[in-house]
Every structure is written in structure tokens, then in C-alpha cells.
Chain A
């Protein structure tokens, strides 16, 4: 019974922390779906959103406003910052590159990364700022069945709920709205999209905006977990195996990929760790991703690309 309880605990906490990776991976999927670009700047966007949120929230709270007002104002301000950055990125970086090769666009997002990281820390500061939006204590479940119960982190549960709502909303948005259809169209063919009257600059603005807002959501959860600080940008690297497993083009894939990585690395750490000297969870995700690459290069849920010869 103790063993079963322990496995369950590791599994559940792994799955939930995997969902948090998915939150970051989602931003990548959105931009990839809509512009065929791997957006290297997603991690920097999480940092920017987090800094804008925590700094404005602290500022408002310091003026003596009640906590709820401060949170709402902070979120509004951070959303405005993400809107502005979406506009600037479209107008000055991607807009002039319409009809260019995917690799060119990718390189431009690397540039965006460094500019965003630098600007964000220049404007908002480069310390570690604690953020407390969600409870960080734990529940102990099913204590009558398992001795000591199953430890469940409340923050992880919140993250899971938020990710679920976000994914459902995005999936419906992509499938049902004309803007969603237009996003997919632009990703496939710029000129054809223009020829049916889809304004590419507007679509790109929308997609960077949505990716920015997803980054903000990720920042609320991750900021609470780690504090808002520069190392939050490295989350982008954690999202990479999630994307490879789930497929770059699939919103549900980002979630499933996150679950697999999260559960996989926690189980490996706890049950293989002792034999291999520990530290497995830092690289286990990448190994899983490599295995998937060997058998399904497009990921579990990605669109299969058929090249005609």
C-alpha cells in the first residue's frame, strides 16, 4: 500500500508539473500553426509578461490599494505590454518579412529574444521578484487508504485547471472561427491567403497577441512557483521535448506531450535515479523526445507532411 501510494503521488505530481510545461509549449504551437515559424522568443515573452505583472502589481499594492485591485490592474498592465510588443514585433520585424523563407523568420525571432530579454530587465529590473497569485501549500488526499496520504500541490492543480481551460478555448477558436481558419491558412501559404483577402499583418498581430497572453498565463503560474527571474526564459528549453513529442502543430498535442514528459521524468527520477546517481529529470525528457523522433518525426499529433517527388 505504501508503494502504491508513493507511485500514485509521483505520477500525479509528475502529470501536473507536465501541464505547466504545456503552458509554455502552447505559445510555441500557436505561432508555429499560424506562421510556420518556430518562435525562439517564447521564453523571453514569459519573462517580459512576468516582470510587467509582478512589478506593476507590487507598485499598485505599495500605493495602499487592496490586493484584488492590485492583481486586476497588474494583469491589465501586463496584457497591455504584451499587446504592444505583439504590435511592434509584427510591424517592425515580421511584417517586412512576408513571403520569406521559414528559416529567415526563425532567425528574426532569435533577434527578438535578445531585445525582449534586454528591454524587459532594463525597464522592470533584473532581480528575483516573488509572486503570490496562487496558494502554494499542499493537500493530503486519501489519508484513510494510504498512510500519510497523497501529497498534492495546490499550485500544480491550479496550473492544470488553467491549462485545460486555455486549451479548450484555443481548440475551439482554431476550429470554428474565421480568424482561426485564417490563421491556419496563413501558415500554409502566404500568397494564397492574401489572394482570398486575408490581411496577413492583422493575422500575425493576432497570433503574437494570443501567444503573448498565453505567455502571461504561463508567467502567473511559473512566477508563483519559481519567482519571476531571468532563469524563467530557460523554460523554453523544457518546452522543446514537449513539442517534439506532441507535434509542433497540435494544441492538444502540447498538453499530451507535457503530461508524458512530466510523468516520465518524475517516475524516472524516483525509480531509476537511485541506480544511476540521480539528476535524471534534467535530461530524461530529451531522451523521450529522441525516441519519438525515431518513430514519428512529426510527433504524436502533428500533421503528417507528404512530400511529392
Chain B
């Protein structure tokens, strides 16, 4: 069965909804009965103090973790767990908190790896690089070069990524996710460890991706200023429980959120 296209879902309707999801590692409850949705075309932030279960939530959505309870509906199909391969095929791309690039490969090859699922030709044709395989390779390469232009990393495309500074590695990682042409893009702390200028660049890219490609984005971020500026709606987790959900302004004035961040005597 073919996964339904994202175009079947109207803007403003939920592209992904998480319902009563609980995830435990042994006795530790990482996520406890959390429900929320992500609407098509929006930028959705997931915030919360350290250990709130944000990354676990992303791992559930992307298929790395399988929750013990609850359901996830993505593009109209409901399931409790899926494998990362199925998530990628379905149109979910992601970046990682501590950059996870293919360190031995060039920036270009890293981004090309994001096209894996879109390449169809058999390996013998690809080895000979003739006929349809050649046309295909050129088409994908052109698409990847567009992404490289978009992210302004032309100068580093042939450099092995392990040699790049951290900020640029983050950018290449975003490029690899974009190369998948995802319907839903998950960003795990896209600005962690960046200086102000790099943060501004990254914010601009995130907004542009959302504007130009209409990609739905869910992001985890610690920098409150960034979150409030970027996102349309924010969900707040604390100790694996959802404590608030709404527009940045609503969340900012929510007492439970203020308590969670500032800490109160329990």
C-alpha cells in the first residue's frame, strides 16, 4: 500500500497526531500519557527542562523508540510503532542533538545519502553510469546542488565533514534531511552550541524551509527567545508529562511552565 501523499491533507489539518503515548525504560517513565498534534505547514516547538522527554518524543515519532502505549497517526495512518525505515519512507526526516553525520564522507556525499530512497536504478547501471542511471544521477545531483545553494555551503561541498566546524556540520545535517524532501522535518536542538550569528542563520533557514517548501517542522530547542520567535505553537513537557500546549504567548504566561523552568518548592 502506498503511503498517502501529504498533499491529501489540507493546510491547517493535523499531519501527525500523538495520542496517549507512554514510553518507559525499565522503571523510568520517559514519556507519560502525552497527546498533541502537529498541523500541516506549521512550525511546532517541543520545549521543556532537561530530562523532560523531548528527544524521546522525537525518537518515538521517527521510529527509533517503540512506545508501550498510545498511538501515532501520520498522514491518516495510525500505528503504535514503526521502524525508522518506514518513517523515512513515509516522509519523516530528522536531525540529531549531537550532529550525526557520515564523518568519512564529503558534505556533498552526505547530502546525496539523503536521496537514497529516491534513487531507483539498479546497481549495475549505476556502476556503468549509462542510460537511465546517468539521467537519474544528474537529476538528483541537481536537486542536491539546489539545497547546497540554499544553505550557502557551496564552498565546503567537497570537504570531509569531520573537518568542518560545528556550525557548518549542523547545516550539512539539515541539508541531508532536506534532500529527503520530507513532509515532516524533526529538528533536535538545531541551535545547540552555536554562537549568535550562527543561530540567526539557522533561524533564517528554518523559516525559509517552512515558507518555500511548505515543510512542516517540529523542533526541540532550549533557547527560549528562538522558540518564541520561530514557532507557531509550542508544547511543553516536564518529567515526561505534558504541562502546556498553545501559542508562544499563551505558553509564556502559563504558571505551570514558569514553575517548571524556574523551579518551585513541591
Residues of chain A touching chain B, judged by Cβ–Cβ distance below 8 Å, are 169, 172-173, 176-182, 184-185, 187-189, 191-199, 249, 303, 305-306
Contacts and interface: CB of A to CB of B under 8 A. Distances in A.
A188 B104 contact: yes
Contacts of A195: 62, 84, 88, 93-94, 96, 100, 177
Interface string B103-130: 1110001001111110100010011010
Contact of A191 (B64, B104, B127, B180): B64
Range class of the B interface residue count: 20 to 34
A252 B129 CA distance: 21
B143 interface: no
Contacts of A181: 105, 109, 112-113, 116
B96 A196 contact: no
B180 A196 contact: yes
Given A194-B84, A195-B94, A305-B162, A188 B119 contact: no
A192 B172 CA distance: 13
A193 B115 CA distance: 12
B204 interface: no
Contacts of B102: 184-185, 188-189, 192-193
Interface in B151-193: 160, 162-163, 176-177, 180
A188 B85 contact: no
A196 B129 contact: no
B31 interface: no
Contacts of B45: none
Interface of B: 62, 64, 84-85, 88-89, 93-94, 96, 100-105, 109, 112-117, 119, 123, 126-127, 129, 160, 162-163, 176-177, 180
A306 B104 CA distance: 10
- Residue with the highest number of chain A CB atoms closer than 10 Å, among B62, B93, B104, B115: B104
Contacts of A180: 123
B236 to A, nearest CB: 25
A306 B163 contact: yes
Given A191-B64, A197-B85, A197-B117, A177 B105 contact: no
Contact of A197 (B64, B88, B162): B88
Contact of A178 (B64, B84, B126): B126
Contact of B103 (A172, A189, A191): A189
Given A195-B88, A196-B93, A197-B88, A185 B105 contact: yes
A47 B123 CA distance: 29
Contacts, number: 90
B123 A192 contact: no
23 contacts: A172-B127, A173-B123, A176-B127, A176-B129, A177-B127, A178-B116, A178-B119, A182-B116, A184-B102, A185-B116, A188-B103, A188-B104, A191-B100, A192-B102, A193-B113, A195-B84, A195-B96, A195-B177, A196-B116, A196-B177, A197-B180, A198-B113, A199-B85
Nearest to B163: A306
7 closest A-B pairs by beta carbon, nearest first, are A197-B88, A192-B100, A194-B84, A188-B102, A177-B126, A197-B117, A177-B123
Contacts of A176: 126-127, 129
A180 B102 CA distance: 13
B164 to A, nearest CB: 11
Nearest to B161: A188
B35 to A, nearest CB: 24
A192 B116 CA distance: 13
Contact of B101 (A169, A179, A192): A192
A192 B114 contact: no
A177 B136 CA distance: 12
Contacts of A188: 101-105
A176 B93 CA distance: 24
Given A196-B93, A198-B85, 4 more contacts: A181-B105, A185-B113, A185-B116, A197-B84
A233 B160 CA distance: 36
Nearest to A188: B102
Contacts of B85: 194, 197-199
A180 B133 CA distance: 15
A214 to B, nearest CB: 16
A6 to B, nearest CB: 42
A199 B89 CA distance: 11
